[in-house]
């Protein structure tokens, strides 16, 4: 039976009876995990196993935000805390090859951790290009401030995940780097010209447009659509993301419960699909909100179904055994070189 075009969060570390009944009825395409869902490796693996048993889908997409630094749901003492993207930018500025090796190896290690837990999608890499005066919601999550550097590091970060059997998600398309507000709390407006956006902000996404998944930005780009944030704008989704940037993979919204968006959850869901998004994402685990979204959730079909199937087909079987301890030692050595320099 075909899944609905929605990704949901969960309330806690195990499925409740209410959630089990709801998810069995709705059949979401995937799920996303947060810190509230995580207690131990054994518990997370039991949770992901229960989600796959519930849906009957071995390739069920289970997402997490495991970037490193400030944005990491898996943390010590049970898990390694990956460094923020800016650490790789610093090493890349000193020694390009070493920076690329470190960014790739870090993602390969993240994939190793995630796959052992049954998690097969990571909301990484961040391809936003920070600009002077922008809000620090991106900050050190970015792979530098130059589009060409972000392209180089973002590419190997995505490749490291894929090599480890985990799908990457490009975010936040078409670019969050100029925002002067945190879209979790309010709706940012970017006033840059289309020429400037095309030359700078869109470049990383255009260069890496062959990757399988991307997540939208809840930002108004006044030069493109002054009335709607990108997630809800056909001008941005069809004209810019699909057109100018040329991204043809599966496109998901950022979290519909963020305060940047207005209207009911049902209205946000309808507007996201109407704009051209393939999947809607809802993260906070609030069952009433999830039920409101479910009333408007579409069954995946047509191009959206083809794109999501194509994305899942890129989950590759693991190749040669990966020595995680050796990988951590090498990564530590590389990053220490950056600190000494």
**Model confidence pLDDT, tens digit, residues 51-105:** 999 999 999 999 999 999 999 999 999 999 999 999 999 999 999 999 999 999 9
Q: How far is residue 149 CA from its own chain's centroid?
A: 20
Q: How far apart are CA 109 and CA 102, in angstroms?
A: 10
pTM of the model: 0.96
What parts of the chain have a pLDDT lower than 50? none
Q: How far apart are CA 102 and CA 90, in angstroms?
A: 11
In the set 140, 201, 225, 254, the catalytic residue is 254
Examine the residue annotation and report whether 112 is marked as an active-site residue of this protein. Answer: no
Please give the pLDDT value at position 284: 97
> How crowded is residue 195: how many other Cβ atoms within 10 Å of its Cβ?
9
The structure tokens listed for 271 are 């507007």
Q: Which residues contact 214 (CB under 8 A, 6 or more apart)?
A: 169, 170, 171, 173, 205, 241, 247, 249, 250, 251, 252
Examine the residue annotation and report whether 140 is marked as an active-site residue of this protein. Answer: no
Please give the pLDDT value at position 338: 65
φ, ψ dihedrals at 124, nearest 5°: -160, 140
Rounded to 5°, angle at Cα 92 from 87 and 97: 130
Please give the pLDDT value at position 1: 73
Does the domain made of 4-340 have the CATH classification 3.20.20.300? yes
Please give the pLDDT value at position 196: 97
In the set 184, 191, 210, 323, the catalytic residue is 184
Please give the pLDDT value at position 124: 98
Q: Residue 122: helix, strand or coil by DSSP?
A: strand
The structure tokens listed for 267 are 């209205």
Give residue limits of the domains in the chain. 4-340
Percentage of the chain with pLDDT > 90? 92
């Amino acid at each position: 039976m075909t899944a609905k075009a929605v990704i949901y969060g969960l309330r806690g570390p195990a499925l409740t009876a209410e959630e089990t009944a709801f998810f069995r009825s709705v059949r979401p395409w995937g799920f996303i995990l947060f810190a509230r869902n995580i207690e131990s490796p054994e518990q997370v693996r039991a949770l992901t196993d229960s989600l796959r048993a519930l849906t009957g889908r071995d390739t069920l997409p289970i997402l997490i935000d495991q970037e490193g630094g400030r944005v990491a749901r898996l943390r010590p003492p049970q898990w390694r805390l990956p460094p923020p993207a800016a650490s790789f930018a610093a090493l890349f500025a000193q020694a390009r090859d070493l920076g690329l090796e470190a960014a790739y190896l870090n993602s390969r290690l993240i994939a190793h951790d995630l796959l052992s837990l049954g998690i097969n999608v990571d909301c990484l890499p961040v391809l936003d290009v920070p600009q002077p005066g922008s809000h620090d919601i991106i900050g050190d999550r970015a792979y530098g401030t130059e589009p060409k550097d972000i392209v180089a590091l973002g590419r190997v970060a995505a490749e490291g995940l894929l090599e480890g059997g985990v799908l990457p998600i490009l975010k936040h398309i078409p670019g969050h780097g100029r925002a002067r507000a945190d879209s979790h709390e309010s709706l940012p407006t970017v006033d840059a010209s289309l020429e400037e956006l095309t030359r700078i902000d869109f470049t990383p996404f255009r260069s890496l447009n062959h990757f399988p998944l991307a997540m939208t930005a809840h930002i108004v780009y006044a030069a493109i659509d002054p009335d709607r944030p990108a997630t809800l704008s056909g001008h941005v989704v069809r004209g810019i993301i699909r057109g100018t940037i040329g991204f043809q993979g599966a496109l998901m919204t950022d979290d519909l419960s963020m305060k940047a968006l207005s209207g009911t959850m049902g209205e946000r869901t309808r507007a996201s699909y109407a704009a051209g998004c393939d999947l809607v994402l809802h993260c906070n685990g609030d069952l009433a909100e999830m039920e409101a979204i479910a009333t408007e959730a579409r069954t995946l079909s047509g191009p959206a179904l083809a794109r999501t199937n194509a994305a899942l087909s890129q989950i590759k079987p693991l190749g040669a055994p990966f020595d995680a301890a050796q990988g951590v030692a090498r990564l530590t050595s590389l990053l220490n070189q950056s600190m000494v320099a």
